[in-house]
Structure 1
Amino acid sequence: MSKRTLLSIAAATFVVAIPASSQSATSGKAEAELYIDVATHSMPGMPAMGGLGRAAMGLFGGGGGGNSYGMTRFPAMPGQYLDVALRNSLNPGGEAVDQVPAGLRLKQLPLLPPKVEAHEPGTGGVGIADGQVPDSTTRILIYWGCGTTVRKGQPKVIEISTKGGKVAVSGSMEGRYAPDRGINTGPDTALWPNQNDRRNVPDGASLAGEHRITGDRVPESLKFTLEQAHDFMPKIQLSSTGDLASGQTWRWPTVTGARGYFLHAMGSRDKELVLWSSSETADAGMGVVDYLPNATVDKWIREKVLLPASATSCAMPGGIFTGSDGEAAGGMLRMIAYGKESHIAWPPKPADPKAAWDPEWNVRVRTKSTAMAMLGMDMSGAAQQEGAEKAEPEAPVKNLLKGLLRR
């Protein structure tokens, strides 16, 4: 069975295991609700990828055709990302404008209702055409914890068998995941980016300053100021030493504004899918690499699911991503620095919980910084090279991607 099929089947199973509901994170009592998601993404050791970047975007869940709403959740290319969604109960789906500070260097952001696009049967999902899942058995090996040595009792093994189009799972797939606290982007919302404005956020741009939302029946008072805590977080300057056989140690300087960290790696070993995380528990996986409420970050740090803000390194066990021949099998590592989630409302919420409160509007701002790197790649100087323009990195990176897909 090909690596592409193995990854697709595993991904499909994980999708089934994670709840997919989406709902508003606020009470809904305000006349207008504004959601702002802020993200910074880096790919240390892989700058200036050019056309290869677009191929990687398609491989790891990004879309083509420029910037689009939702890319803050899972950005595929280095840069700064911004999603803005307005739900105005006085004019559902009505167009509006976010008058942004000059530091964002985008003048203003037009908010438009989403364009409904039809999808033909068999073209969605994770890359497996309808009715074409081959009969096979896939083993998933799960490792966890920082350290160059595999711990006692690991790995946790899960088997996924497909026969006649039916999937059977042996072993528990349950795990922690980020609560889905996005919004249903239906016709009652107005979004940026959108079909008419796919501009990218310029590198070095800032959200700090006054924002004002204007539009038909938008509350005239919808004006607020974002501080540094709401702004784009710095890139994760990730570097590593060691190798996959003996253990690869990941290092990073403290990320300003980070409340905690989490690392997750996925790759293959022979015909097995291998997962590893920095958590001290076995139930943390890909679903944790997303925005988290402040209270959840604090709780999971106490439970050692996440690394604390003081952490600056984490080692990955040696041998878990090498084949039976001892050669590096490769894979990808994702890291997230969790930023602050903030809520702004007008009028402000009274200190007395019994006092009546009928806000005209509320704003939620979420921040995070993420990084993605190739396992086994020499990244001893990646932190210094981040952002540097290079003319020749595309060929070796392209070969690594091809190896990851064809193995």
Structure 2
Amino acid sequence: MKTLSDFSLRSHSFVLLPVCTVLVGLGVGSAAWAQSGAGGQVVKPPIATAYMDVATSASDIPGMGAMAGAMRGSQGGGGLLGALGGLVKGGMGGNGGNVFGSTKTGGMGAPGKYVDISVGTLQNPTLQTAEQQIQPPFGLASPLKLVSPPPPEKPEPVESDDKVVEPTYEKPKGKISLYWGCGDTVRPGQPRTLDMANAGVQDIAKFFVMRNSTTRGARLRAGEPSWPNKVDDRRVPDTASLLGAHTITGEGIPEGFQFTLDERQDLMAPLELTQQAQGGAVQLGWKAVAHARGYFISVLGAKGRKGGGEEGAEVVIWTSSELPEMGYALVDYQTNASVDKWVKEKVVLPPTATRCTVPKGIFGQEGAGMLRMIAYGSESYFAHPPRPKDVKKPWEPQWQAKVRTKSTLFSMLGGMPGGRAPADEPREAPEGDATPQPEPSRPSVPGMPGVGGLLKGLFGK
């Protein structure tokens, strides 16, 4: 667990800029890619390394497919025209328009199944292309064609393979209130409230409790071919399965780079959430997801002042944790050890959980909030040759592969404005045009005007 007080200027892990942008430091994760192992065993870096980020995304918000299609079209290098084309494809479906990074949406992606892959080799730092042989259950013709992105204009800093990737934060305006724990009513001592207008560094450090153990996964980097890309932008079918052998080839990649995935590394089932209103509280229920290590839920809402504006707005956060937890970074891949630890600490709901109630009175009379949920899968490692049990013998792997899985859900607590509300609580249709008009650089939540700056500060630049 990390708070802002865990980071110091001396370690360059915590920096407070004049605009109050907080750069949270990078910690150290597992020793899977370390240079020395337990007992002093010599561990040499693998010649070739591959990463597979596997994600299933679900949402009951209308239009998410079209919006994600526009994003894919724009990110694919098409600019405005690409976004318009992607908007059409997203609304109508289709097999193209897939872009790298769809596994990294923070739990707010369009419904579907996604896989990001990247591979690099020490024997060819400028590797341009590679191929990954897949099995028929994946639903796409083999192989997947991996292509390296162009080199950046400026050299990228060298980073450790297992450092924790933290987001950046900008100090928002207004107030932030934090609630936590499942139940019908708010527990004593809640909420914790932070008034950003008067908050100092120590106040912020005590308030922002954010656990995170997200380590490196698939990435876009010159010399490391990745998929999907502009050459091969096929979308993963909803019926896809990764079961079976996967073989990666390319110039400088050792022969025999093959690993077999089973159910633990396969695409997870989508989360299916139900909402039931009960006297102001909202009971959330879901079907258990196979191979989930645990679940976490976060709801973010806002109470804006009359007439809109950010100065008087209040961000309200609730999480399913039994301990105070902001939860921003937790709706992402986490290490197996961390998830298991957080289940014991009751920060993460156990894999047997199938319901959790959001207490009444947290989000005001409207009861609206942006809901994100995650079912944590597992991180799996493959290597050849296997690590010697005798610590006196060095480990010199020819290749290593890391596969990690998750299933996320994006929804609205209380239903979309003018849309479906939780059972037993019908809503009146809003007057006029209820369609939100998002600003380019300020996140917008339907039904929550005037809090763009607050959300931007909470969710990073």
Common fold by TM > 0.5: yes
Is the 2:414–2:422 Cα contact (8 Å) retained in structure 1?
no
Q: CA deviation at 1:19?
A: 3.1
Q: CA deviation at 1:110?
A: 1.4
Change beyond 3 A, Cα 1:57–1:248: farther
TM-score by length of 2: 0.69
Partner of 1:274: 316
Taking the aligned partners of 2:250 and 2:68, their CA distance within structure 1 comes to 37
Partner of 1:73: 104
Q: CA deviation at 1:173?
A: 4.2
- Please report the RMSD computed on the Cα atoms of aligned residues, expressed in angstroms: 3.5
Change beyond 3 A, Cα 1:340–1:19: same
1:305 correspondence with 2:347: yes
1:197 correspondence with 2:255: no
1:92 correspondence with 2:92: no
Partner of 1:51: 66
Taking the aligned partners of 1:256 and 1:239, their CA distance within structure 2 comes to 18
Answer with 359-368 or 177-186: which moved more.
177-186
SS in 2 for 1:283: coil
Taking the aligned partners of 1:56 and 1:217, their CA distance within structure 2 comes to 34
Partner of 1:403: 447
SS in 2 for 1:16: strand
Change beyond 3 A, Cα 1:18–1:276: farther
Identity of aligned residues (%): 38
The structure showing larger relative contact order (alpha-carbon pairs under 8 Å, at least 6 residues apart) is 1
Taking the aligned partners of 1:118 and 1:140, their CA distance within structure 2 comes to 39
Change beyond 3 A, Cα 1:98–1:280: same
Taking the aligned partners of 1:311 and 1:185, their CA distance within structure 2 comes to 36
What amino acid does structure 2 have at the position aligned with 1:51? A
Q: CA deviation at 1:227?
A: 1.0
TM-score by length of 1: 0.78
Match of 1:140 among 172, 176, 195: 176
Instruction: Give 1 or 2: higher strand fraction.
Output: 1
Answer with 196-205 or 257-266: which moved more.
196-205
SS in 2 for 1:38: strand
Is the 1:99–1:213 Cα contact (8 Å) retained in structure 2?
yes
Match of 2:375 among 301, 317, 337: 337
Partner of 2:194: 158
What amino acid does structure 2 have at the position aligned with 1:298? D
Q: CA deviation at 1:126?
A: 9.5
Change beyond 3 A, Cα 1:317–1:87: same
Partner of 2:426: none
User: Residue deviations 1:333-377, cap 9 Å, x none?
Assistant: 100000111111111122334432211001111011000110102
Pairing of 1:12-27 with structure 2 (within 5 A): 16=22, 18-19=24-25, 26-27=33-34
Partner of 1:39: 55
SS in 2 for 1:140: strand
SS in 1 for 2:137: helix
Taking the aligned partners of 1:180 and 1:93, their CA distance within structure 2 comes to 27
Is the 1:141–1:156 Cα contact (8 Å) retained in structure 2?
yes
Pairing of 1:121-132 with structure 2 (within 5 A): none
SS in 1 for 2:447: helix
Match of 1:246 among 280, 284, 305: 280
SS in 1 for 2:373: strand
Q: CA deviation at 1:289?
A: 1.1
Residue segments in structure 2 that go unaligned for 5+ positions in a row: 1-18, 35-43, 74-78, 87-96, 155-166, 305-312, 424-432, 438-443, 452-461
1:321 correspondence with 2:360: no
Taking the aligned partners of 1:196 and 1:162, their CA distance within structure 2 comes to 52
Count of matched residue pairs: 359
Taking the aligned partners of 1:69 and 1:356, their CA distance within structure 2 comes to 36
Is the 2:152–2:222 Cα contact (8 Å) retained in structure 1?
no
Q: CA deviation at 1:175?
A: 2.0
